[in-house]
Chains A and B, each alone.
Chain A
Amino acid sequence: MQNSQRTPGVVPGRLDDATYRSNFDDLHPPLDAHEARVAADRCYFCHDAPCMDACPTAIDIPMFIRQIQSGDPDNAARTIFEQNILGGMCARVCPTETLCEEVCVRQTAEAKPVEIGQLQRYATDQLMAKEGHPFQRAEPTGRRIAVVGAGPAGLACAHRLALKGHSAVIYDARKKAGGLNEFGIAAYKAPNNFAEAEVQWLLGLGGIEIRYGEKLGEGLLLEELQDEYDAVFLGMGLAGVNALRTEGEEHAHVRDAVEFIADLRQATDLSTLPVGRDVVVIGGGMTAVDAAIQSKLLGAENVTMVYRRGRDRLSASTFEQELATAKGVKIVLNAQPVAFNSEDGETVSSVTFAYTEDGATGFKLSEETFTVKADQVFKAIGQSLKGVPGVLETTGGKIVVDAAGRSSISGVWAGGDCASGGDDLTVTAVANGRDAAEDIHAMLTGAAG
């Protein structure tokens, strides 16, 4: 460890090995068997349970918890996977506090919901640790479906199609599958290469092939896929990044947060990752929070997250905000960057912000400004659709789809972050992929019009 938290500039090795390890260890250590039984016992097995309704993949939560309680975690996991094949990752990354656990009647009763997420992890971990894949494919149908994107939506879609006996070929722009599970979410939420292991486990079903380095619009053409395959599912997420268009954005060490997070997720040795002493993150969503927290965990001395609107508009959940604050991130609201300053003309040294006003007269900048020291800046103001053929109808920067995931073009479905209607969550992407697969299956077998 040559550097410390106080070393100026963007440098690696600010912490010792043990601190890196503990900083990026499991955010919530898994429940052991006894803890799981006790936690499961708290479930009331509600009639028409609110938690089930709140789950985008409609997992039969009371049933899987009852199965854990009865000492049968394997079947608990099957109950989960039947609805959500990425139930392992969702157990780790779902904002349960705004989904199933928010509506848990024990939240109503005592402000302490059943630990649904943790229980789901307990069950899925148990079954995934066993040999083989829990499901078997139906007899091969000879039908072939192209899936674009090996993220949660594409994987869920391909798995469901393969389960029905169809063959799925997934095209992914990267060299590795998993999408945001692999490149996006915070490292401490899924340590020990869980995302990669989950993909391998999922592929254990058979009938799914992944072709890497294939980017839609760059060599890979939608009309060719339509010709070659019986159906096409688009689940390539949002590859573009929104621009800030602020003066000085070109200075060194001003970069996109998604890139930083992807680098971090792929790093084999965290001590080689450079991070600033004074880091500023711009944005108010999950990406911003993840970048801010992980900068802190990598050893940045000061991390400030700045969002242009008020707390009510902050899309990061209360839990995420509290986590950030607990890790030492400072959250500043109602301020927008007006200039990235540089002392040497090359690298960023500070950011000047203007306070904003978001009232009845609309959103505007105030006269009042302030400057925050910054040797590294991460922009996290949203991602955008990229490489989508113009023939597809879009709205608000997303591919228009109906409830079944059908796009404006016959034979082409879409789901996940690239499609309209989602919440940009892993779990909604899984639901979209799964439901589109069901619709594709119905269409191919003549059960749907």
Chain B
Amino acid sequence: MANLASEFVGIKSPNPFWLASAPPTDKEYNVRRAFEAGWGGVVWKTLGSEGPPVVNVSGPRYGAIFGADRRLLGLNNIELITDRPLQQNLREIKTVKRDYPDRAMVVSLMVPCEEEAWKAILPVVEETGADGIELNFGCPHGMAERGMGSAVGQVPEYIEMVTRWCKQNTRMPVIVKLTPNITNVVYPAEAAKRGGADAVSLINTINSITSVDLDAMSPEPMIDGKGTHGGYCGPAVKPIALNMVAEIARHAETAGMPISGIGGVTTWRDAAEFMALGAGNVQVCTAVMTYGFRIVEEMIAGLSNWMDEKGYASVDEVVGRAVPNVTDWQFLNLNYVTKAEIDQEACIKCGRCYAACEDTSHQAILMKEGRVFEVDDSECVACNLCVNVCPVEGCITMRELSKGETDERTGEPVSDYGNWTEHPNNPGASCAAE
């Protein structure tokens, strides 16, 4: 059995599955249920400063995007940070941590961008026995209008400044949660590192409007006839999150910095993918909001089984394993040639590959008598669209041409590795060659 035990910036948990700071971690009741279900840790829903708590809307807080049969693919929320009194949250955090000492208890924080505000909250959180803090520099709605959340996360100087204040005022590990609502995620990550952050976690939610009520002419979720942008999460955002995690993991200045991966993690496989791209652990939210806490059983069993199959003894052996294979486009092998191949036995003759290729691509699929679809190698550029639109998994595959074999499209034999930097068509290539 693979060992799923995780140690992230010194914080131990029995598995790498944490619940992200969000509605599921707002209360003792929920967090106890999560721990009973088997979650390795939680990031407690974001606390604000002492004083009257924030007020949430009393209309819908969530909007959603659905797939077939109302499978929830994306969720958007306009909920603020915790709307319960600070002292109550602190009491509950302390009690739960006391009762579940082996689980990770990280507390998410968001207070105004003033050192005094951070100095005030850090000791009271530390007093709960929490294992660490996560700085919420990510929420894109509501709190950002008040100069917090993503309003901080979008300015690297602020990230660095606040991170430094925290590192100077607490012994707890500091995780900086990043917003994806920026142009290049490595800048905020670098800033966090300069400020002394122990880790970054990402992504927070993406600014979004999920849909428009075409009768009321209002964005959803609609509050009394009006709507506002909210934070998008769930399976739909996973590709965006994976890229941002990978960019930080392979960027020279931030490489090696611990990353807590967040964004659409729904199954063990998603978690393994985040970890392969450099995440030390993962945080989950939408999946539990959709299916409840029990899904962690599937995640634990699935990750463990896969690790056994692959011979990975511990989580650390998985983390970052795919990072060396994340590269820039310019380094991709332009002499790697594949051709689509259709398995006629598996083909159900729907013709989607034909429609896609004929209408929108390279006219490389021929429709023959009796609805037989065949690839024309002399036109196929190996774009993979046919594979993606084929409803039968494994029916269309890409065959790699071996070296020396003639590519019928170009008439050239497949040659050795060669990328854009040295390609004759690249105006910049000659310098490198000389």
Write the chain B residue with the least CB distance to A109. B348
B434 within 8 A of A: no
Q: How far is the CB of B336 from chain A (nearest CB, A)?
A: 30
A34 CA to B391 CA in the complex, in Å?
22
A2 within 8 A of B: no
A230 CA to B61 CA in the complex, in Å?
67
Chain B 355-366: CB-based contact to A (< 8 A → 1; otherwise 0): 100100000000
A38 CA to B355 CA in the complex, in Å?
24
Write the chain B residue with the least CB distance to A44. B350
Write the chain A residue with the least CB distance to B395. A109
Q: Which residues of A contact B367 (CB under 8 A)?
A: 47-48
Assess whether B348 is in contact with A48, with CB atoms less than 8 Å apart.
no
Q: Which residues of B contact A38 (CB under 8 A)?
A: 68-69
Q: Which residues of B contact A48 (CB under 8 A)?
A: 351, 367, 371
Assess whether B391 is in contact with A44, with CB atoms less than 8 Å apart.
yes
**Which one of B350, B352, B358, B391 has the highest number of Cβ atoms from chain A below 10 Å of its Cβ?**
B350
B392 within 8 A of A: yes
Q: How far is the CB of A111 from chain B (nearest CB, A)?
A: 11
Write the chain B residue with the least CB distance to A42. B68
A41 within 8 A of B: yes
Contact of B69 among A41, A47, A49 (CB under 8 A): A41
Q: How far is the CB of A350 from chain B (nearest CB, A)?
A: 52
Contact of B352 among A34, A41, A46 (CB under 8 A): A46
A328 within 8 A of B: no
Q: How far is the CB of A70 from chain B (nearest CB, A)?
A: 13
Chain A 97-109: CB-based contact to B (< 8 A → 1; otherwise 0): 0000000011011
Write the chain B residue with the least CB distance to A110. B348
Assess whether B348 is in contact with A105, with CB atoms less than 8 Å apart.
yes
Q: Which residues of B contact A34 (CB under 8 A)?
A: 70
Within 8 A of B (CB), among A91-124: 105-106, 108-109
- Known: A45-B352, A47-B352, A47-B367. Contact between A109 and B68, CB under 8 A? no
A248 within 8 A of B: no
Assess whether B392 is in contact with A109, with CB atoms less than 8 Å apart.
yes
Q: How far is the CB of B118 from chain A (nearest CB, A)?
A: 49
Assess whether B350 is in contact with A46, with CB atoms less than 8 Å apart.
yes
Assess whether A105 is in contact with B69, with CB atoms less than 8 Å apart.
no
Q: Which residues of B contact A42 (CB under 8 A)?
A: 68
Assess whether A41 is in contact with B68, with CB atoms less than 8 Å apart.
yes
Assess whether B350 is in contact with A105, with CB atoms less than 8 Å apart.
yes
Q: How far is the CB of B238 from chain A (nearest CB, A)?
A: 22
Q: Which residues of A contact B355 (CB under 8 A)?
A: 47
A34 CA to B66 CA in the complex, in Å?
13
A204 within 8 A of B: no
Q: Which residues of B contact A49 (CB under 8 A)?
A: 351
Contact of A44 among B68, B352, B358, B371 (CB under 8 A): B352
Assess whether B391 is in contact with A50, with CB atoms less than 8 Å apart.
no
Assess whether B349 is in contact with A108, with CB atoms less than 8 Å apart.
yes
Q: Which residues of B contact A109 (CB under 8 A)?
A: 348, 391-392
A108 CA to B371 CA in the complex, in Å?
13
Write the chain B residue with the least CB distance to A47. B351
A37 CA to B392 CA in the complex, in Å?
21
For chain A, the bracket of interface size reads: 10 to 19
Within 8 A of A (CB), among B50-76: 68-70
For chain B, the bracket of interface size reads: 10 to 19
B35 within 8 A of A: no
A46 CA to B371 CA in the complex, in Å?
11
- Known: A106-B348, A108-B348, A108-B349. Contact between A50 and B371, CB under 8 A? yes
**Which one of A34, A44, A49, A50 has the highest number of Cβ atoms from chain B below 10 Å of its Cβ?**
A44
Within 8 A of A (CB), among B352-385: 352, 354-355, 358, 367, 371
Q: How far is the CB of B347 from chain A (nearest CB, A)?
A: 9
Write the chain A residue with the least CB distance to B351. A47
Chain B 387-399: CB-based contact to A (< 8 A → 1; otherwise 0): 0000110000000
Within 8 A of A (CB), among B303-352: 348-352
A285 CA to B392 CA in the complex, in Å?
38
**Which one of B348, B358, B391 has the highest number of Cβ atoms from chain A below 10 Å of its Cβ?**
B348
Q: Which residues of A contact B358 (CB under 8 A)?
A: 47
Q: How far is the CB of A8 from chain B (nearest CB, A)?
A: 53
Write the chain B residue with the least CB distance to A38. B69
Q: Which residues of A contact B348 (CB under 8 A)?
A: 105-106, 108-109
A45 CA to B391 CA in the complex, in Å?
11
Q: Which residues of B contact A105 (CB under 8 A)?
A: 348-350
Write the chain A residue with the least CB distance to B70. A34
Q: How far is the CB of A42 from chain B (nearest CB, A)?
A: 8
A76 CA to B358 CA in the complex, in Å?
26
Q: How far is the CB of A71 from chain B (nearest CB, A)?
A: 10
Within 8 A of B (CB), among A21-65: 34, 37-38, 41-42, 44-50
Assess whether A50 is in contact with B352, with CB atoms less than 8 Å apart.
no
A45 CA to B359 CA in the complex, in Å?
14
Write the chain B residue with the least CB distance to A40. B68
Q: Which residues of A contact B352 (CB under 8 A)?
A: 44-47
Q: Which residues of B contact A45 (CB under 8 A)?
A: 352
A108 CA to B355 CA in the complex, in Å?
19
Assess whether B69 is in contact with A50, with CB atoms less than 8 Å apart.
no
Q: Which residues of A contact B351 (CB under 8 A)?
A: 46-49
- Known: A44-B391, A109-B391. Contact between A50 and B349, CB under 8 A? yes
Assess whether B68 is in contact with A47, with CB atoms less than 8 Å apart.
no
A48 CA to B371 CA in the complex, in Å?
9
Q: Which residues of B contact A50 (CB under 8 A)?
A: 349, 371
Within 8 A of A (CB), among B208-233: none
Q: Which residues of B contact A37 (CB under 8 A)?
A: 69
A47 CA to B351 CA in the complex, in Å?
5
Q: Which residues of B contact A41 (CB under 8 A)?
A: 68-69
Q: How far is the CB of B334 from chain A (nearest CB, A)?
A: 32
**Which one of A38, A41, A109 has the highest number of Cβ atoms from chain B below 10 Å of its Cβ?**
A109
Q: Which residues of A contact B349 (CB under 8 A)?
A: 46, 50, 105, 108
A50 CA to B350 CA in the complex, in Å?
8
Q: How far is the CB of B349 from chain A (nearest CB, A)?
A: 6
A38 CA to B348 CA in the complex, in Å?
21
Q: How far is the CB of B120 from chain A (nearest CB, A)?
A: 51
Write the chain A residue with the least CB distance to B392. A109
Q: Which residues of A contact B69 (CB under 8 A)?
A: 37-38, 41
Q: Which residues of B contact A108 (CB under 8 A)?
A: 348-349
Q: Which residues of A contact B354 (CB under 8 A)?
A: 47
Question: What 10 pairs across the A-B complex have the smallest Cβ distances?
Answer: A47-B351, A47-B355, A41-B68, A105-B348, A109-B348, A46-B350, A105-B350, A44-B350, A108-B348, A38-B69
Q: Which residues on B are within 8 Å of A, measured CB to CB?
A: 68-70, 348-352, 354-355, 358, 367, 371, 391-392
A sample of 5 inter-chain contacts (CB < 8 A) reads A41-B69, A44-B350, A44-B391, A46-B351, A105-B349
Give 20 A-B pairs besides A41-B68, A42-B68, A50-B371 with Cβ atoms closer than 8 angstroms.
Answer: A34-B70, A38-B68, A44-B350, A44-B352, A44-B391, A45-B352, A46-B351, A47-B354, A47-B358, A47-B367, A48-B351, A48-B367, A48-B371, A49-B351, A50-B349, A105-B349, A108-B348, A108-B349, A109-B348, A109-B391
